[in-house]
Amino acid sequence: MVSGKHTGVAPKRQRNSSIELLRLVSMLMIVGFHYVRGGNQGLWIASQPISFNKFVYQMIYMSGGWIGNFIFFTISVWFLLDRCETLNDSLKRIWLLERELLFWSLTLLVVTYFLHKQGLYTGSMLSITAKSIFPISLNMWWYPTSYALFLLFMPFLIQGVHALGENAHKKLAIACLVLWGVLSLIPKFAFDLTESSVFVFIYWFVLIAYYRWYMEPFTTRRCWQLIGVGFAVVLLYWAVTNTLFMMTGKMAKMQSFIFDHWKLPMMMIGFGLFLLVERREFHNRIINVMAASAFGVYLIHFQPAIYQAWTHYLGVPKMYTSSMPILMGALTIVGVFFACLLLDMVRQLLFALTIDRHKGRGYERMRAAWVAIVHRRSQRQTVENR
């Protein structure tokens, strides 16, 4: 059984700043990934001759995207696995998530109208307006939609996977690793896991939960081995695909295959980094405040109109062909990251002065009203049955 006694949403604990710092670094890696992959920029960089600059753009700037995604999810779920989470807890978390999504989707919608008038956004205004009003339901951003669905399923997943027991859970984890870890390293072997969706999080949950509940903690040496093996596989794949492209001029897209989606080497690197950081605790209020806006960085820089605009004006071809391509690429990624971070810290301050003064009160009032309605209907039916 999961240890601990349920008392509603778990009491607020002082956050480990080493994990919060890792959260920030993970989002920086995600920004780098989106920058190099933006539009057809991933194909453009893949079509360039092999060089040290290309190595940096692909192996450093682009490779961290799904490492960051895996770390971000692991941080989110790690501390929930040993709590007696209820459906009510999950719904409250979704409610709090939705507030931030709505703030940025509607705020950035205003910016989108301006960009559209200036001809800087060419997408459908009807579509993006609808998505901005219903950001989770219409999948404005894949990650929060999938995460909200995962939160909805999580209490049942925890109970169900726990009920399997250690042996069955191990077999399930092995099956997942073979299908979507080892075999997915072969191009076209997707086994129906072809899109970024909630099922990715369920897959990761099965693996993380097994380690968290049943395995002996990895030693520091084992963590570094995990990172080293993952990096070695990525480096080998990069060298082979670039060599093949240099010799044949074909299969340029294959260069980014190993960096995309839920590839096992990226998960190995991400999990090793998380475990190394998780065991080293310190507390810094500034880092914690900044990290609270890490998710906002994702929402701002990856909103369709904003993403189209900044990857156009600060595009990879412009920076890569400049006199200092590595420096200019790094400055672009870091600049976009900190600009979005500062914007969301303003949002964080506005929330602190307004709706976060009594965080979650709106949800509790709505729930209380619903419970009262259900109770009255139940009483009415009881009277009628008499």
Q: Using H for helix, E for strand and C for coil, what is the string for 149-201?
A: HHHHHHHHHHHHHHHHHHHHHHHHHHHHHHHHHHHHHCCCCCCCCCCCCHHHH
By the 8 A CB rule, do 156 and 90 touch?
A: no
Q: Residue 2 has what pLDDT? A: 39
The pLDDT score that the predictor gives to residue 3 is 39
Query: Which residues in the chain show pLDDT less than 70?
Result: 1-13, 357-386
From CA 190, how far away is CA 199, in angstroms rounded? Answer: 13
What does the DSSP 8-state code read for residue 258? G
pTM for the whole thing?
0.90
DSSP state of 62: I
Q: From CA 335, how far away is CA 45, in angstroms rounded?
A: 21
Confidence (pLDDT) at 56: 96
> Residue 363's pLDDT is what?
63
Q: What is the pLDDT of residue 245?
A: 93
Residue 374's Cβ-side half-sphere holds a number of Cα atoms within 13 Å equal to 6
Residue 40 confidence (pLDDT): 85
Q: What is the pLDDT of residues 83-133, one digit of tens each?
A: 878 999 999 999 999 999 999 999 999 999 999 998 888 889 999 999 999
Distance (Å, whole) CA 139 – CA 65: 19
| Six-digit token string for 282 | 């310190």
pLDDT tens digits along 250-261: 888 899 889 888
pLDDT of 39: 77
d(CA 139, CA 59): 29
Residue closest to 270 by CA, chosen among 215, 207, 317? 207
Q: Are 224 and 96 in contact (CB under 8 A)?
A: no
